[in-house]
Amino acid sequence: MTHRGSRVLHVGPLARVEGEGALHLTVDDGTVTGAELRIYEPPRFFEAFLRGRSHTEPPDITARVCGICPVAYQMSACRAVEDACGVTVDGQLAALRRLLYCGEWIESQILHIHLLHAPDFLGVDGAVELARTQRAHVERGLRIKQAGNAILEQLGGRAIHPVNVRLGGFHRVPATGELGPLAERLRRARDDAWQTVCWVAGFDFPDAGLDHALLALAEPGRYAIDSGTPTVMAAPHTHGLPSGTAAPLPLRQFPVYAFPSEVTEEQVPYSTALQAALDGERYLTGSLARYAISGRWLSPLAQEAARAGGLGDPAAGKVCRNPFRSIVVRAVEALYAIDEALRIIDAYEPPPRPYVAVPPRAGTGHGATEAPRGLLYHRYTLDAAGLITAATLVPPTSQNQGAIEDDLRRLVQARLDTGAGDTEAELTALCERGIRNHDPCISCSAHFLDLTVDTVDRARRSPPCP
């Protein structure tokens, strides 16, 4: 079972991620020569059926791409259509959008930390099992999550696929004082989130280091969520440094409208998700990228939490390239989102109108925002009547797929190199953890991991994805 060079593994479904995928590893005499993350989530064709729809429809329709991050879809859609129509939304309306997005960040990051990811570090199958031994931690997670959902419900109408978002702003905006009870709940959640940072910081983190470029939006003055300029931090190897280097590397920016020329998408035969490359290389987006690029713009409280959580000082440009520690970065981000939501609520004054008009015009618009799991780009082309003639959605998971594959290749290689002779179950558990480190949403681009490890000389391909 464990002799090198002749290993074939078939492993059951991957749990605690969204959507469906499989992993195929090729091992050639003890060396991992190929890693294919096969996303076989059935295609849903959003880009095709958006054509012929009105320019007012993408926020509601594209929300349905993903039940975990509908607001990300709504916000990227609004930005892209508004860009096509030459409209900018600012002031209190923009602040309310950011508040809604904070609700989704809190809900999604806490869901991932407490229900999906923490079980990996504590050796249990899921949150229900976790609740048997660590009930207080699970209950605290549920409380924080509920505070995030409360923002979504009050401002958006409901937590999943909020109904109150429209082009130019909202259908209805909160009256003065209406957000008061929410603030009270968020203050409690802020204390809870601090506890969560401390809890996850105490987990055992295997050594690992990423060697990819990182891509995230950046917006000087604040941590980028709902807007910003695409910013790339170079990969360590391009500077002759070891992977996992925690020093900041040079940054490069490009405008959102240059996304299609900077990021190339390619279809790979084994997956329904397209794979993206930047400068011809694999790259990573998401919490680690945001933290590396914008860490110094975190609120003072979130920066303090990062230091307390063992991430080093973000103000001094310390980055985190250990994917296992992404759970700590996520906890810091959740705390930031709560802090930021409170800041927005404190400064809130109802705008004169719930939305600005977005009259259609012919043209193409681009929009990018930071979904909890990474940068989400939308592009729409409209005709003069406002009907969509072309739509492109580039979700975070398809961008991250290549980097995740490479990360898994390294993880498995490091295990093989120890000569530990891991069993199927051990290797699978390792790969599953490696995948969950990136909180991939495979619906937007997966729930099953069928792990297959093949020897290359037999060149046997596993059967086509179900």
Partner 1 sequence: MSAPRPAPRNGAAPRPTLAVFKLASCDGCQLTLLDCEDELLTVAGRVEIAHFLEASSAVRPGPYDLALVEGSVTTPQDAERVREIRAAARFLVTIGACATAGGIQALRDFADVEEFRATVYARPDYIATLATSTPVSAHVPVDFELRGCPIDRGQLLEVITAFLAGRKPDVPDHSVCFACKRRGTVCVTVAHGTPCLGPVTHAGCGAICPAYGRGCYGCFGPSGSVNLPALIPLLRRDGMSEDDVRRALRTYNAASFVEVEGAGAGGAGVKGAPS
Here's the x/- map for partner 1, 320-349, by CB under 8 A: it reads as ------------------------------
User: Counting Cβ atoms within 10 Å, is residue 29 exposed (0-12), middle (13-18) or buried (19+)?
Assistant: exposed
Is residue 363 involved in binding ligand SF4 (CB under 6 A)? no
- Residue 126 touches which of partner 1, ligand SF4, none (CB < 5 to 8 A by kind)? partner 1
Phi, psi of 332 (to 5 degrees): -65, -40
Is residue 153 involved in binding ligand SF4 (CB under 6 A)? no
- Residue of 28, 67, 248, 317 that binds ligand SF4 (CB under 6 A): 67
CB of 231 to partner 1, least distance (A): 28
Give the list of residues 6+ apart from residue 213 with CB closer than 8 angstroms, or none.
Answer: 232, 233, 234, 235, 238, 278, 279, 281, 283, 284
CB of 457 to ligand SF4, least distance (A): 43
Give the list of residues 6+ apart from residue 385 with CB closer than 8 angstroms, or none.
Answer: 360
Note the Cα 83 to chain centre separation in Å: 23
Which residue, chain included where needed, has tokens 């602040």? 95
Is residue 127 involved in binding partner 1 (CB under 8 A)? yes
Q: Of 163 and 247, which has the nearer Cβ to ligand SF4?
A: 163
Helices 91-110 and 127-156 meet at what angle, rounded to 10? 170
Name residue 309's amino acid: G
What are the tokens at 127?
């949150």
Using CB under 8 A, which of the segments 63-71, 77-85, 292-300, 450-458 binds partner 1? 63-71
- Residue 414 touches which of partner 1, ligand SF4, none (CB < 5 to 8 A by kind)? none
Residues 198-217 touching partner 1, rule: CB under 8 A, are: none
Is residue 111 involved in binding partner 1 (CB under 8 A)? yes
CB of 133 to partner 1, least distance (A): 13
Q: How far apart are CA 44 and CA 174, in angstroms?
A: 35
Task: Provide the residue count of the chain.
Answer: 466
- Residue 143 touches which of ligand SF4, partner 1, none (CB < 5 to 8 A by kind)? partner 1
Q: How far apart are CA 377 and CA 223, in angstroms?
A: 18
CB of 350 to ligand SF4, least distance (A): 23
Here's the x/- map for partner 1, 150-179, by CB under 8 A: it reads as -------xxxxx-xx-x---xxx-------
Name residue 116's amino acid: L
Q: Of 160 and 198, which has the nearer Cβ to partner 1?
A: 160
Q: How far apart are CA 66 and CA 18, in angstroms?
A: 9
Q: Which residues bind ligand SF4 (CB under 6 A)?
A: 64, 67, 161, 163
